[in-house]
Amino acid sequence: MKPRALVLTAVVAVLALGTLVQRRRGYKLGGNTIVRCRAGHLFTTIWIPGGSLKAVRLGMVRWQRCPVGKHWTLVTPVREDELTDVDRQLAEQYHDVRIP
Ligand SMILES: [Zn+2]
């Protein structure tokens, strides 16, 4: 393998591993993820570790638009087991644009 392909493979492997670890910790990442904004709004977004077109990535925090309060804010993923059924239903009503 060429060195560049090797580096790319390593990066993909690390990202995949990171997603697995976060899933085990109770975060549902890598698809539709329930997140909470700084104002406490819950909504669903597509969270793909390592890649995003519409948000600034800062590790487990993202700067993006909140569809509930219609404002730009920092959002963090919420552990599914910390949510009540009501929280989950509310979050599922709000989904931002379906691009990662
Ligand atoms: Zn908000």
Domains held by the chain: number: 1
On whether residue 57 sits in a domain, the answer given is yes
On whether residue 98 sits in a domain, the answer given is no
What stretches in the chain show pLDDT beneath 50?
Answer: none
On whether residue 99 sits in a domain, the answer given is no
Output the CA angle 75-47-92, nearest 5 degrees.
75
Q: How far is the CA of 21 from the centre of ligand 1 (A)?
A: 27
Condensed to tens digits (0 to 9), the pLDDT of residues 38-48 reads: 999 999 998 87
On whether residue 69 sits in a domain, the answer given is yes
Quick one: pLDDT at residue 57? 65
Quick one: pLDDT at residue 80? 82
Q: How far is the CA of 13 from the centre of ligand 1 (A)?
A: 33
Record the tokens describing residue 97, joined without a space: 């644009």
Q: How far is the CA of 22 from the centre of ligand 1 (A)?
A: 24
On whether residue 100 sits in a domain, the answer given is no
- How far is it, in rounded angstroms, from Cα 42 to Cα 89? 10
Q: Which domain holds residue 88?
A: 3-93
On whether residue 45 sits in a domain, the answer given is yes
